[in-house]
Amino acid sequence: MRRLALFAIALAFTAGIGRAQHAPAGPPVLPTNDSASQNPNEPPMTPRQIAVMRAQILMARKDYQQAAVAYQLLLQDDPRNPDFLNQVGMAYQQLGDGERAEHFYRRAIRADKNYSRAINNLGTLEYAKHRYGKAIKYYKKAISAGGDLAPIYSNLGYAYCGIKLFPEAMQAFAKALAIDPEVFEHHGGGGSVFQQRSAVDPGVLYFMLAKSYAKTGDAERTARYLKLSRDDGYKDFLSARKDPDFARVIKDPQVQEVLRVQPTYAAEPQKPVSN
C-alpha cells in the first residue's frame, strides 16, 4: 500500500511537469516518504527507489527529455548500470538523436558485454538507416547473448524482409510467435527493447505476418494482416489461396472475405477511347 501511494504521488507529480520538451533540465523533485500510507509494516521506499520509479514513469509518459535527465542523475551514483544506460539511449532514440542513443547503448554493452537489450537497440539504429545486414548481425548477437525476447526475433524478421530473404524472415517470425503469440499486436512505448514497426515494403511484410499467423492456426490475425497486405498494394496476396502455409485457415470465413474483395489496384486499366 505504501508503494502504491508513492507511485500515485510520483505519477501526479510527473503530470505537472512542463510539457515543453526543450525546457531547461533540472534535478528531479521527488515525493517524500511523509505521504506514505497507513501500513506501518511495509518498509518505506528509499529516495533512490523513488527516483527510479519517477524515471520509469517519465518514460512511460513519453516525456523522453526529462526521462533522459532522470536516468542520467541516477547514473551519477551508478555509472556502469546497463539498465540505466540503455534507458538513456532509448530516450534519445525516441527524441531522434541517434548519435547520443548509440553512445549510451555502447556504454551499456561495455558495462555488460552480454546486455542483449542494448545490442538489439543498436540494431534498430542500423535498421533505421536501411543497413539491414548490420542490423541482422546485431539482432543475432543479441539472441546469442541470451536475449530470446520475442521483439528481437520480430526485428530480425523485419530486417530479413528488408533484404528480401523471406524464408529466413518467416523462421524469425515463427520463433517470435512461439515466445509471444501477440508480439505483433503490442503498440506500447515502454520496456527496454525497441521493436520495429516500419518496413520498406509494408505489403510484403504484412503478407509474411499473415503467413506466420496462418501457420499457427490464428484465422483472425491472418485475415487482419492479409487485408493490410492487400490494401497496401501487395499484388500477389491472392497466392494465399494455394499457399500451403495458409492451409489451416484458408476456409475460415474471415480469410475468405478478405480474398473475395478485389483491390482497386488490381482492376484492369481502361483502354483509351479512340475517336
Q: What is the pLDDT of residue 190?
A: 52
Question: Is-contact 214 245, C-beta < 8 A?
Answer: yes
Q: What is the pLDDT of residue 43?
A: 84
Look at residue 224 and tell me if it is in a domain.
Answer: no
Look at residue 212 and tell me if it is in a domain.
Answer: no
Q: What is the pLDDT of residue 30?
A: 43
Q: What is the mean pLDDT of each run of 10 residues along the chain (275 residues)?
A: 44 40 40 48 88 95 97 97 98 97 98 96 96 97 89 95 94 94 72 82 91 94 94 90 95 94 60 44
Look at residue 18 and tell me if it is in a domain.
Answer: yes
Cell numbers given for 199:
518496413
Look at residue 132 and tell me if it is in a domain.
Answer: no
Distance in angstroms (rounded) separating the CA atoms of residues 73 and 63: 16
Number of CB atoms found within 10 A of residue 73's CB: 17
Look at residue 53 and tell me if it is in a domain.
Answer: yes
Look at residue 25 and tell me if it is in a domain.
Answer: yes
- 230-250 burial by CB neighbour count: b if 16+ within 10 A, else e? bbbebeebbebeeeebbebbb
Cell numbers given for 89:
539511449
**How many separate domains does the chain show?**
1
Domain containing 63 equals 1-77
- 103-135 burial by CB neighbour count: b if 16+ within 10 A, else e? ebbebbbebbeebbbbbbbbbbbbbeeebbebb
Q: What is the pLDDT of residue 184?
A: 86
Q: What is the pLDDT of residue 18?
A: 37
Look at residue 40 and tell me if it is in a domain.
Answer: yes
Which of these, 150, 145, 229, 228, lies nearest to 196 by C-alpha position? 150
* pTM for the full predicted model: 0.78
